Amino acid sequence: MENDSDWKWPFAARAAALRRVLLSDYVLNGVSATFGFFLVAACTHLAFGETVAVNASVGAIIALLPDNVRPTRGHFGYLIAAPLLGLPLFLVVQLLRPYPIELGLFLVPATFVAFLATAWGRRGMPIAAAAMFAMLLAMAPLPATSIHEALLRTVGCALGAFLYVLYATASGRILNRRYRAQAMADLLFSIAALMRTHALRLTAGVTDPDGTELKRQAALADQMQQARDLILERPNTRRRQRLAGMLMVALEMRDHVIVGELGLGHAESRPADVLQRFGALLQAMADDVARVADSLLLGRKPAPAQDHGPALEALRIRAQSGINPEATEQATRNQAALIRSATTRFSDQNRDACQLAALARGDTEPDLSAVRTSWHLFVSPTYWSLQPLLRLWHWRQPVMRHALRAALAIGAGYAIALFIPWGSRDYWVLITIVVVLRGNLAQTLERRNLRVLGTLVGSLLAALLLASQPPVVLLLVVVIVAQGVAHAFVARRYLVTAMAGSVLGLVLANLLHASGHPAFDFADRVGDTLLGAAIAWAFSYVLPSWERDQMIGRVQRVCKAAARHAERSLALAALDEITAQPELAWRLARREAYDALSALVQAIGRAPVEPRAVQPPLDDLKQLQAHGFQLLGQLSAIQSLLLLRRERLDLAVIEGPTAGAALQISRTLDLSQPAETAPATAEAADETAHLSAIPEDLPDPMVPDSSPWLLRRLALAVQLAGALRSDAERVLAQLRTPRDEPQPPSQPTGRDATPLVPQP
């Protein structure tokens, strides 16, 4: 029976993973896009015939590119931007198609204008893609024989685009309720995965030498913002408020997971059996969180989470009774103190898991005092502002350089495609350039590899399908399904998108040919893809925006955000009662701190593939990001003490040191001031001296007062701020040194690095 269970477990895990993918928000969005695409194609085919239906399908493709999981506020204004920009380009390309030289001269500036939409970040990228696809898909059919035919094609394209915009606006409102639950479930799965990773580090001693954990934290920050945009939009119904309350708990869980990381470096100070117990309890909590997420996907009421409080209390009592009788008295107390500290942190995570399940079940009311009326401060803007566009007109701006780079690549690709001996379809070469060429080298290389592999598989499938000469209706169905699959996985599994996109492009191009041309040659399509990928790769080195060029601003942002977060977090100690306004300010500062570190971690992850001569000081940057997350962890631990264990604190004792720590951290991380600044007042000097006088021995675990623990964490936070400042100055000095001059020495890392004060 045991062997049978072991044999079945991997299949059960894979089945659960597949179920979660199929029930995810991005798959539902792909299904919705597929259905909308089908409605547009079917209605126009029944009403106006095959030719109009094919052109309407192109319009629907242009309109559905920006149709992703978004809040309902401003959805129509966002969707309509794609056809408004793309349709004029579609018409001009139709008119210039018989004139290759004039068309090439138009494609270059039009590409530059289209790529300027990326100035709005992720929000503008689908609009830029829609504009480019409008031009390039207009090149797929045979040239129009007259202006009248070009206008008819454009009218059909416009009809399909506007019909889809109306459909997508309505479907977005209908599916918004489901999208909220799916976004919350997806976020909980990510948090549960982090908890399992930490449990594995406790039980098996697994380390993280390549910084995978920090990359996950950075990805989680982006995922949380996407969840905020959906879930915090108008929390004016009971169900929306329950999901918003769960999101607030998830934010606290993220903090507590980071705080839990602080003590993993002291695992060797604790008995192995205690570590195993902690790891097993954390694994069980992660399972509880995942079960809540599954219940959201399935629309079921979850079971109550198991309360692990008694087990944690037993571990704490065992620690206080004396764990290692052979050790010295202080060593025994330190070991007991470490276990008490870990028990407290795991108790916070246990409380979060129980509260999460209770909210999902409707057993408790959510606490939304900080976001009930200020939710708009936490969500991304939905309006189109001119400020991003006005700020990019500078030679060193990455968006400006990327737009110029893309325009030059499209011009070169079009010129080469005109003279290829194997009769290349120029639009396919150009589409490959558009989807492969990214704003940085790392993403370009990743897209290049996935695009080539996906094209090999997808083109083979499309060639086999077209060789059988199926009826037009079947080809339209294939186009619809392929578009839905490509749309669903574009941000999650681009290989699937590349395969589906190849099928879509080849079949749709076959439909657009008035001559009813049979199946495209497989070798030609692969050759076009390889050519487009090679051109995109080559032009990624033209007018490059290396990560080094943006790193100074990212480092400064991290220090500024960390100082602001410390100021807002530690200000809670001076309040007799925590009200909504200071909590709101602290939450906004915390979000900016995580966002700043997330941007830094992602940039560090992209830099290693760039030429060594232009790489930033990666070792020092990795140390800076580690200290940044450790500082966030200490501030989160302090905040937990101030909010959750306020009754165990002596406010008269901690108020002065807390204010002094806030002042010292703020001054330390102010990069515009000298590194060492004397305290401005005698009171601040006394507070700083008090912090430095905290003993190295851990607080007595037998004393219920939590004030010594808070004072110790204040001291550690001040020290981490100093380490972060040193890292930042060292990195900035190297970044500001011309590349042909000797670089300042890097701080040793790994075994040679100077260790920090223990961080229980």
Q: Which of 232-246, 322-336, 340-354, 433-447 has the lowest mean pLDDT?
A: 322-336
Q: Measured between alpha carbons, how far is 359 from 369 in angstroms, rounded to an integer?
A: 16
**What pLDDT is attached to residue 221?**
83
Cβ atoms 256, 191 nearer than 8 A: no
pLDDT band for position 456 (50/70/90)?
A: confident
**What pLDDT is attached to residue 371?**
62
How many CA atoms are closer than 13 Å to the CA of 245, on its beta-carbon side?
A: 24
**What pLDDT is attached to residue 108?**
95
**What pLDDT is attached to residue 687?**
39
**What pLDDT is attached to residue 235?**
84
* CA distances (Å), origin 419, targets 415, 423, 505: 7, 8, 22
Longest pairwise C-alpha distance within the chain: 96
**What pLDDT is attached to residue 211?**
64
Q: Measured between alpha carbons, how far is 414 from 333 in angstroms, rounded to an integer?
A: 74
Q: Measured between alpha carbons, how far is 79 from 70 in angstroms, rounded to an integer?
A: 11
pLDDT band for position 426 (50/70/90)?
A: confident
Query: Encoding tokens for residue 10?
Result: 């991997």
**What pLDDT is attached to residue 262?**
66
Query: Encoding tokens for residue 126?
Result: 């689908």
Query: Where are the alpha helices (H) located in 299-380, listed in sequence order?
Result: 309-320, 329-361
Is residue 750 pLDDT above 80, yes or no?
no
Cβ atoms 504, 454 nearer than 8 A: no
Cβ atoms 253, 352 nearer than 8 A: yes
* CA distances (Å), origin 428, targets 117, 487, 601: 22, 18, 35
Is residue 451 pLDDT above 90, yes or no?
no
Q: For residue 309, how many other CB atoms are within 10 A of its CB?
A: 14
Query: Encoding tokens for residue 576?
Result: 């007799």
**What pLDDT is attached to residue 147?**
92
**What pLDDT is attached to residue 521?**
60
Helix (H) or strand (E) holding 28: helix 25-48
Is residue 215 pLDDT above 70, yes or no?
yes
**What pLDDT is attached to residue 264?**
53
Q: Measured between alpha carbons, how far is 692 from 684 in angstroms, rounded to an integer?
A: 12
**What pLDDT is attached to residue 316?**
72
pLDDT band for position 685 (50/70/90)?
A: very low
Q: Measured between alpha carbons, how far is 637 from 630 in angstroms, rounded to an integer?
A: 10
Calculate the CA 42 to chain-centre distance. 36
Q: Measured between alpha carbons, how far is 301 from 309 in angstroms, rounded to an integer?
A: 23
pLDDT band for position 676 (50/70/90)?
A: low
| pLDDT digit string, tens, across residues 368-394 | 765 666 666 677 777 788 888 888 888
DSSP-derived secondary structure for 237-279: SHHHHHHHHHHHHHHHHHHHHHHHHHTGGGGGGS-HHHHHHHH
pLDDT band for position 4 (50/70/90)?
A: very low
* Mean pLDDT, all residues of the chain: 82
**What pLDDT is attached to residue 428?**
82
**What pLDDT is attached to residue 721?**
93
| pLDDT digit string, tens, across residues 694-726 | 334 445 445 566 778 788 888 889 999 999 999
Give the 3-state DSSP-derived string for 175-216, with helices as H, strands as E and coil as C: HHHHHHHHHHHHHHHHHHHHHHHHHHHHHHCCCCCCCHHHHH
Output DSSP code: residue 146: S
Cα dihedral 556→562→563→564 (10° resolution): 110
Cβ atoms 37, 64 nearer than 8 A: yes
* CA distances (Å), origin 504, targets 61, 421, 427: 10, 25, 14
Is residue 213 pLDDT above 70, yes or no?
yes
| pLDDT digit string, tens, across residues 518-568 | 445 677 778 888 899 999 999 999 998 899 989 999 999 999 999 999 988
**What pLDDT is attached to residue 513?**
61
**Across residues 136-160, what is the average pLDDT?**
91
pLDDT band for position 178 (50/70/90)?
A: very high
pLDDT band for position 320 (50/70/90)?
A: low
Output DSSP code: residue 383: S
Output DSSP code: residue 746: P
Q: pLDDT: is 418 or 296 the higher one?
A: 296
**Across residues 43-66, what is the average pLDDT?**
91
Q: Measured between alpha carbons, how far is 138 from 161 in angstroms, rounded to an integer?
A: 14
Q: Measured between alpha carbons, how far is 262 from 266 in angstroms, rounded to an integer?
A: 8
**Across residues 95-122, what is the average pLDDT?**
93
Burial state string for 440-457 with b = 16 or more CB within 10 A and e = fewer than 16 = bbbebbebbebbbebbbb
Q: pLDDT: is 506 or 542 the higher one?
A: 542
Query: Encoding tokens for residue 712?
Result: 């110790």
Round the CA-based radius of gyration of the chain to a whole number and report it. Answer: 29
Residue 740 exposed, middle or buried by CB count within 10 Å (0-12, 13-18, 19+): exposed
Cβ atoms 233, 73 nearer than 8 A: yes
Query: Where are the alpha helices (H) located in 65-115, listed in sequence order?
Result: 75-96, 100-115
Highest mean predicted confidence (pLDDT) among 195-204, 407-416, 704-713? 407-416
**Amino acid (one-letter) located at 131:** A
Cβ atoms 636, 256 nearer than 8 A: yes
Query: Encoding tokens for residue 171?
Result: 């479907």
pTM here is: 0.84
**What pLDDT is attached to residue 434?**
93
Q: pLDDT: is 382 or 731 the higher one?
A: 731
Q: Measured between alpha carbons, how far is 453 from 445 in angstroms, rounded to an integer?
A: 13
